[in-house]
Amino acid sequence: MTVLAKTTTELSSESVRSLYDQLVVRLKELNHLQGISGLLAEGVRAEQLSTLAGLTHGVGTSPVLGSILEEFERRQAAQDLSNELNPYELANVRLSRKAYKEGVALPSELVKAAAALSSRSVGAWANARKESNFAKFAPFLEEQIKTIRETVRYQMKAGLCEEARKINEKARATLNLREGDDCYKGYYQALLNEYESGFKEERLQVLFSDLKQNLVPLIAKIKAKNFQHDNSYIKGDWDLEKQTAYSHRISKEIGFDTDAGRLDVSTHPFTGGAHPTDVRMTTRYTVDNLQEGITGTIHETGHSLYEQGRNQEYVDLPVSQALSLGVHESQSLLWERMVGLSKPFWTYALPLLKEQFQEPSHENLQSVTPDQFYNAFNRVEPGFIRIEADEVTYPLHIVLRYEIEKALVEGDITVAEVPGLWNAKMKEYLGMEVTEDRLGCLQDTHWAVGLIGYFPTYTLGSIYAVQIFNAAKEAIPNLDEHLAKGEFHVLKKWLNENIHQQGSLRESGDDLIFNLTGKTLDSSIYVQYLTDKYTKIYDL
């Protein structure tokens, strides 16, 4: 594997096309390696993950790749390459340069240590959650925060995350800090951009404060009605095989290509697989609640359609990758909420459900109307668990996590303060008294993995979803009628063209939807959507 880098002189005499071809070879190799860690079966050891991470980092920062990218930088400084490379190819150059710079900014030892830490830390978290004992997880979270700060420090030093650096500098000036004094202000900005490229935290603050301001009273209003829609006919004892058959059918009709992927069952539903032709998604079924299996399956189907719909021409290359986590989540949420929680959808899907479950024990399902069913599936009820939350309360779960993880990483609170703060905010935002950390700050695996700055993308995704769906409705005549007839392919095709195949062509999610809708991400559209919808459902 020892390939000697060509000298600058050698590279400078090559054509842009030849340079690009060499780049593609390197990028594909890197992509294959990156895909491998996702395919590792349970039981992989921390040392193995660490070695693999170190090697992948080595390939992603190899001198050969470096000199090709440098030559591109020289060429682009001298001339516009858009006559020689198409926009997808130019995006590959841009994205790989960015990734390379991020890679070389970090010492291999740190990358390896971080991978090993994540692996150990997830184990500790799982035990701590089982025993509902935060103290057992605390030292690992402490260690994660340290490692994450060290990573950001290296990135800033390398001149990456300029936005974060500016915030940090300003804070240092304000606080009158000396060189060498610790100051972690701006670190959250850097972390956020790992998951949502190009998104400014100050915009996040505006969006989230708008959500908090509008959703807390909306939830209160719903609560004040002291009324709940009947959903007794989706409770009871639901045969798991029939649930499976129904979910597989719906997922296939929506457009999941079973020749290019599969749907299985797991405790924590997810969508994975390293390739558009081999997408693995999982769901879970609950015996006594019909809703969970159905909405979970539709959600993962949304993710899968994105994965299966990625640009095949540039497969294994950065431009074909999903643009951001927020945009990925928008695809799952668009199908789960805009479609799967809509009246047109249930006009189509309820008869099939009645056909599937004809047991006498589910007799009361047979007389339900799509309107009643719509109301039952859209019940708003504050709860402890994020992944079980409805679309009105969900954003507050995220705002809470954002506020805590930002304070943690920027040094405003200590790890020991997390449970108390969590419980106080749950009380304030959702009126819930957390009695066990298992149901509170130990419920999610993200911090254990080292994912800080990730949670906000769930809510960015839900805002994207509404705006993208609005654009689809404008673009597709009679979309509701199509959905009511189960003609999902029109929507899928539109998303394929306008979202999935675009991959990482645009520089940010904002760019993508601005181009599509004339607006960047806008919480007021989301608040409007929720207010309109739930005012009707709860007759507010």
Nearer to a second copy (CB atom), residue 50 or residue 375: 50
Nearest approach in angstroms of CB 90 to a second copy is 24
**With contacts defined by CB under 8 A, how many residues of the chain interact with a second copy?**
32
Nearer to a second copy (CB atom), residue 58 or residue 411: 58
Closest of 507, 384, 391, 509 to residue 459, by C-alpha = 391
Closest of 399, 396, 463, 412 to residue 186, by C-alpha = 412
Question: Long-range contact list for 524-532, CB < 8 A, 24+ apart?
Answer: 524/210, 525/463, 525/466, 525/467, 525/470, 526/211, 526/462, 526/463, 526/466, 526/467, 527/210, 527/211, 527/214, 527/215, 529/466, 530/215, 530/218, 530/391, 530/392, 531/214, 531/218
Q: Which of 8, 12, 17, 44 binds a second copy (CB under 8 A)?
A: 44
The residue annotated as part of the active site, out of 300, 336, 391, 410, is 300
Q: CB under 8 A: which stretch of 24-32, 329-337, 381-389, 422-430 binds a second copy?
A: 24-32
Nearest approach in angstroms of CB 307 to a second copy is 13
Nearer to a second copy (CB atom), residue 26 or residue 506: 26
Q: Which of 4, 7, 9, 43 binds a second copy (CB under 8 A)?
A: 43
Q: CB under 8 A: which stretch of 38-46, 163-171, 181-189, 392-400 binds a second copy?
A: 38-46
Instruction: Tell me the C-alpha distance between 307 and 310, whole Å.
Output: 5
Nearest approach in angstroms of CB 47 to a second copy is 5
Nearer to a second copy (CB atom), residue 2 or residue 7: 2
In the region spanning residues 94 to 153, those forming contacts with a second copy, defined by CB under 8 A, are 108
Q: Using the rule CB under 8 A, is 180 a contact of a second copy? A: no
Give the alpha-carbon dihedral of 242, 245, 251, 254, to 10 degrees: -100
Partners of residue 265 on adjacent β-strands: 283
Nearest approach in angstroms of CB 249 to a second copy is 24
Kindly report the CA angle at 296 between 293 and 301, in degrees rounded to 5?
120
DSSP secondary structure code for residue 498 in this structure: I
**Segments in 358-505 forming alpha helices (H):** 370-377, 394-409, 418-430, 446-449, 456-475, 479-484, 489-495
Nearest approach in angstroms of CB 14 to a second copy is 22
Nearest approach in angstroms of CB 374 to a second copy is 38
Q: Which of 142, 210, 239, 278 binds a second copy (CB under 8 A)?
A: 278
Q: Which of 17, 28, 427, 536 binds a second copy (CB under 8 A)?
A: 28
Q: Using the rule CB under 8 A, is 4 a contact of a second copy? A: no
Q: Using the rule CB under 8 A, is 304 a contact of a second copy? A: no
Instruction: Tell me the C-alpha distance between 487 and 407, whole Å.
Output: 47
Nearer to a second copy (CB atom), residue 65 or residue 294: 65
Nearer to a second copy (CB atom), residue 32 or residue 172: 32
- Binding string to a second copy for residues 47 to 86, with x set by CB under 8 A, is what? xx-xxx-xx-xxx---x-----------------------
Pairing of strands 271-275, 278-283: antiparallel
Q: Which of 33, 138, 421, 490 binds a second copy (CB under 8 A)?
A: 33
Catalytic, 300? Answer yes
Q: CB under 8 A: which stretch of 27-35, 247-255, 327-335, 361-369 binds a second copy?
A: 27-35
User: Which residues, 6 or more positions from 165, have their beta carbon under 8 angstroms from its beta carbon?
Assistant: 156, 159, 186
CA 293 to chain centre: 20
Nearer to a second copy (CB atom), residue 53 or residue 349: 53
Q: CB under 8 A: which stretch of 39-47, 131-139, 241-249, 252-260 binds a second copy?
A: 39-47
Structure tokens belonging to residue 9: 């002189």
Three-state secondary structure of 57-79: HHHHCCHHHHHHHHHHHHHHHHC
Q: Which amino acid is at 67?
A: S
Nearer to a second copy (CB atom), residue 276 or residue 370: 276
Instruction: Tell me the C-alpha distance between 379 and 533, whole Å.
Output: 11
- Binding string to a second copy for residues 235 to 274, with x set by CB under 8 A, is what? --------------------------------------xx
Nearest approach in angstroms of CB 96 to a second copy is 16
Nearer to a second copy (CB atom), residue 102 or residue 437: 102
- Binding string to a second copy for residues 305 to 344, with x set by CB under 8 A, is what? -----------x----------------------------
Closest of 254, 253, 324, 246 to residue 290, by C-alpha = 246
Q: CB under 8 A: which stretch of 34-42, 143-151, 153-161, 365-373 binds a second copy?
A: 34-42
Helix (H) or strand (E) holding 274: strand 271-275
CA 87 to chain centre: 25
Instruction: Tell me the C-alpha distance between 461 and 333, whole Å.
Output: 7
Instruction: Tell me the C-alpha distance between 266 and 512, whole Å.
Output: 33
Nearest approach in angstroms of CB 283 to a second copy is 18
DSSP secondary structure code for residue 286 in this structure: B
Using CB under 8 A, list all residues that contact a second copy.
1-2, 28-29, 32-33, 35-36, 39-41, 43-45, 47-48, 50-52, 54-55, 57-59, 63, 108, 273-275, 278, 280, 316
Instruction: Please give the positions annotated as active site.
Output: 300
